[in-house]
C-alpha cells in the first residue's frame, strides 16, 4: 500500500532553528492544510541530497551550495523556500589554537569539516593565500565539529555562527574562560563573496515529487510560513512548545542557539535571486557546477503572502547583522534587523 505522507528529512539532528517544521506539525498546521508529514532526521548530513534527489524522501532542508551541487551531480532537487538567510559561516577556532584573522595561520593545522564542501571551500581558498591543500590536514567530523575542537582532535572546524560558535562559547563559560576566546574566519570574507548565502538553509524538494504534487508543496509551505510567523511573534512561547516536542531543546546551549538563530529566520521564506546568482558563480569557481548551470530554485509555492523586495543594501545588512549578533551574544534576547529603524527586541530571556 502506498502512503500519502510527505517525508521530510532534516539537514542535521533536530536543532533549534528547525523549530518551524516541528511546530507546524505539533500545532496542527500541516493537518489544517490537509497534508500528512513524517519528519525524519539523518545520522549523516552528507546523505541528505542523495536521498532526496533520488526520490527516496520527498523534501528536506539543505544549504544552498549543496542544493546547487546536488542537481549538477544528477540528484535533481529544487529549493522552494528559505529557512535561514545567510547565517555567518566559516572556520571556527579558539584563540588558544594560535590561529588568527590571517588565513595563513591555518598552515599546519587540523581543520574539521562536516562532509565534503567545507573541504572544497578551504582547498580553493588556499590558492588565494599562497598555500596548497597539502598545507593543512582536513578531518571529516560529520555533526561533531565542536566536540572535536573541545577534545583537541582538531585545531579549528567549519561551522555556523549561530550553532558551533555558540556550542564552543558555552563550553568556554563552563571552563571559566571568556566567550570571546572563540573566533571565526568568515568564508564569505575570505572568498570575497559579498554574502554568506552559500550556507543559507533552504526548503528543498525532489524535482519529480514537486512536479507531481504542486498542491501539496504549496500547502506545506503555507503551514511552515504560519509556524514561522508564530516563532517570530512569540519566540519564547514557541520555544517552550518546541521543548515539549524535543526535550533536548531545554538545554542552556540550545536556548542560546535559538536566540542566535532568531535573526536569520527568513520572514517570507523567499529565495533571494541575488544570493542564488552569487552562489551559482561561486559554485562554478569551486568547480562543483558546470559553466552555464542555471540555479535550481523557485518561489512559485510561496502563495498567499507578500514577498519582500530585495534589500537595497545587502552589504550594509550584513554589517548590521554582525553587530546585532554581537549584541545578542552579550545580552541575549530575540532581535532582528528587519524590526524597524532601530534594532528591535521582541523579548529578552530572564
Q: Which residues are catalytic?
A: 66
Count other Cβ atoms within 10 Å, centred on residue 193.
18
* 39/190 with CB nearer a copy of itself: 39
Query: For a copy of itself, which stretch binds (CB under 8 A), given 2-10, 182-190, 319-327, 333-341?
Result: 2-10
Which grid coordinates are listed for 220? 506545506
Cell numbers 575542537 label which residue?
149
Beta strand spans in 50-136 (E): 59-63, 77-84, 89-94, 110-113
Identified binder of a copy of itself from the candidate list 20, 42, 81, 115, rule CB under 8 A: 42
Query: For a copy of itself, which stretch binds (CB under 8 A), given 74-82, 170-178, 231-239, 283-291?
Result: 74-82
50 lies in the binding site for a copy of itself (CB under 8 A): yes
290 lies in the binding site for a copy of itself (CB under 8 A): no
72 lies in the binding site for a copy of itself (CB under 8 A): no
51 lies in the binding site for a copy of itself (CB under 8 A): yes
d(CA 55, CA 211): 12
CA 126 to chain centre: 24
Residues 6+ apart with CB under 8 A from 25: 37, 39, 245
3 lies in the binding site for a copy of itself (CB under 8 A): yes
Query: For a copy of itself, which stretch binds (CB under 8 A), given 43-51, 202-210, 252-260, 311-319?
Result: 43-51
56 lies in the binding site for a copy of itself (CB under 8 A): yes
d(CA 98, CA 86): 28
d(CA 58, CA 77): 10
Interacting residues with a copy of itself between 244 and 283 (CB under 8 A): 244-245, 247-248
127 lies in the binding site for a copy of itself (CB under 8 A): no
d(CA 106, CA 108): 6
Which grid coordinates are listed for 5? 505522507
Measured from the CB of residue 310, what is the shortest distance to a copy of itself in angstroms? 34
Measured from the CB of residue 76, what is the shortest distance to a copy of itself in angstroms? 8
Amino acid at each position: 500500500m502506498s502512503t500519502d505522507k510527505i517525508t521530510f528529512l532534516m539537514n542535521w539532528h533536530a536543532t533549534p532553528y528547525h523549530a518551524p517544521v516541528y511546530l507546524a506539525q505539533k500545532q496542527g498546521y500541516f493537518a489544517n492544510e490537509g497534508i500528512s508529514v513524517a519528519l525524519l532526521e539523518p545520522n549523516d548530513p552528507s546523505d541528505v541530497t542523495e536521498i532526496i534527489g533520488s526520490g527516496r524522501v520527498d523534501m528536506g532542508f539543505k544549504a544552498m551550495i549543496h542544493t546547487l551541487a546536488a542537481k549538477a551531480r544528477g540528484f535533481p532537487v529544487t529549493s522552494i523556500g528559505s529557512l535561514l538567510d545567510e547565517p555567518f559561516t566559516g572556520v571556527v577556532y579558539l584563540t588558544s589554537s594560535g590561529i588568527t584573522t590571517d588565513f595563513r595561520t591555518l598552515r599546519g593545522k587540523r581543520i574539521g569539516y562536516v562532509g565534503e564542501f567545507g573541504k572544497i571551500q578551504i582547498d580553493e581558498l588556499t590558492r588565494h593565500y599562497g598555500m596548497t591543500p597539502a598545507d593543512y590536514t582536513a578531518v571529516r567530523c560529520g555533526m561533531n565539529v565542536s566536540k572535536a575542537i573541545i577534545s583537541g582532535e582538531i585545531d579549528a572546524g567549519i561551522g555556523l555562527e549561530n550553532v558551533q560558535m555558540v556550542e564552543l562559547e558555552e563550553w568556554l563559560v563552563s571552563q571559566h574562560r571568556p566567550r570571546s576566546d572563540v573566533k571565526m574566519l568568515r568564508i564569505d570574507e575570505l572568498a570575497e563573496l559579498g554574502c554568506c548565502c552559500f550556507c543559507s538553509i533552504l526548503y528543498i524538494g525532489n524535482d519529480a515529487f514537486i512536479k507531481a504534487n504542486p498542491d501539496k508543496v504549496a500547502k506545506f509551505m503555507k503551514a511552515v510560513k504560519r509556524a514561522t510567523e508564530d516563532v517570530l511573534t512569540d519566540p519564547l512561547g514557541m520555544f517552550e512548545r518546541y521543548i515539549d516536542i524535543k526535550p533536548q531543546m531545554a538545554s542552556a546551549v540550545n536556548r542560546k542557539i535559538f536566540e542566535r538563530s532568531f535573526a536569520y529566520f527568513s520572514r517570507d521564506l523567499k529565495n533571494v535571486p541575488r544570493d542564488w546568482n552569487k552562489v551559482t558563480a561561486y559554485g562554478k569557481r569551486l568547480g562543483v557546477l558546470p559553466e552555464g548551470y542555471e540555479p535550481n530554485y523557485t518561489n512559485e509555492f510561496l502563495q498567499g503572502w507578500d514577498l519582500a523586495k530585495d534589500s537595497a543594501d545587502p552589504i550594509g545588512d550584513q554589517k548590521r547583522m554582525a553587530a546585532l549578533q554581537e549584541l545578542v551574544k552579550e545580552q541575549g534576547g530575540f532581535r532582528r534587523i528587519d524590526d524597524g529603524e532601530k534594532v528591535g527586541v521582541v523579548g529578552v530571556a530572564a
